[in-house]
Amino acid sequence: MTVITRRLAAVTLALCTMLPATMAAAQEAPKVKFNTTAGDIVVEVYPDKAPKTVENFLKYVEAKHYDGLIFHRVIGTFMIQGGGYDTKYSERITRPPVAHEGKLILEKGGPRNGVGTIAMARTSDPNSATSQFFINVADNTRLDPTPSSPGYVAFGKVVSGMDVVNKIKAMPTGAGGPFPTDVPQTPVVINSATLVK
């Protein structure tokens, strides 16, 4: 009986010491809810893996930058992209670009561009990402940073609303505004993007 009691006490002690670390890890992953005309999408982001990228994204959320913008580029076998244009295809003014954190993602074992991950969109210049983001709807490993290629910085993942992402990826697309292809023919508007407490 004493051996069982000692083992139980040891297990309880181990669990108690692990619990604060688990709770701290959970607290370190802020969540953002996109309320869209297609439904809600919640993403969690990882400041411990891509601190500048996450800080940049959350500043746009706090400034209500994404409210009223659309998912303007949808490729059903690739990704859905938003965060740059409103329903009239006007671009919102952005802050200066964020420094590319591809090397840091590699060093810290950050998320890869798998299904459901969120990443920053950019031009051919790795240090050009501002507000636009995309959600991967396929395992886009070719987008991952490598020692020889900067890639695209995935900084979080969808934790709720993947059904909404899948609904958006399946929408018929065509021309819209300045874009000749890949624009949802039924606009998907981000009504609001809010930090989930």
Range 14-36 burial, b when 16+ CB lie within 10 A, else e: eeeeeeeeeeeeeeebbebbbbb
pLDDT band (50, 70, 90) for residue 43: very high
Q: What is the DSSP letter of 91?
A: B
The CATH number given to whatever domain includes residue 76 is 2.40.100.10
At residue 197, the pLDDT reads 72
Residue 151 located in a structural domain: yes
> 133-136 and 154-160: which strand pairing?
unpaired
Residue 73 located in a structural domain: yes
At residue 16, the pLDDT reads 52
Residue 72 located in a structural domain: yes
Residue 7 located in a structural domain: no
pTM: 0.86
Which structure tokens are listed for 114?
Answer: 């798998």
Residue 34 located in a structural domain: yes
**Domains in the chain: how many in total?**
1
At residue 21, the pLDDT reads 45
State yes or no: pLDDT of 12 exceeds 90: no
At residue 73, the pLDDT reads 98
Range 126-156 burial, b when 16+ CB lie within 10 A, else e: beebbbbbbbbbeebeebbbeeeebbbbbbb
Residue 12 located in a structural domain: no
| Amino acid letter for position 16 | C
- Weakest-pLDDT range from 1-15, 34-48, 54-68, 85-99: 1-15
Termini Cα distance of the chain: 45
Which structure tokens are listed for 46?
Answer: 């990882």
pLDDT digits (tens, 9 = 90+) for 127-170: 999 999 999 999 999 999 999 999 999 999 999 999 999 999 99
pLDDT band (50, 70, 90) for residue 45: very high
Q: In this prediction, what percent of the chain has a pLDDT beyond 90?
A: 85
DSSP per-residue string spanning 109-178: T---S-TTEEEE---SSGGG--S-EEEESS--GGGS-BTTB----EEEEEEE-HHHHHHHHTS-EEEETT
Residue 162 located in a structural domain: yes
Residue 21 located in a structural domain: no
Domain that holds residue 166: 28-196
State yes or no: pLDDT of 81 exceeds 50: yes
At residue 2, the pLDDT reads 56
At residue 28, the pLDDT reads 74
- Angle (CA) 67-69-75 rounded to 5° is 135
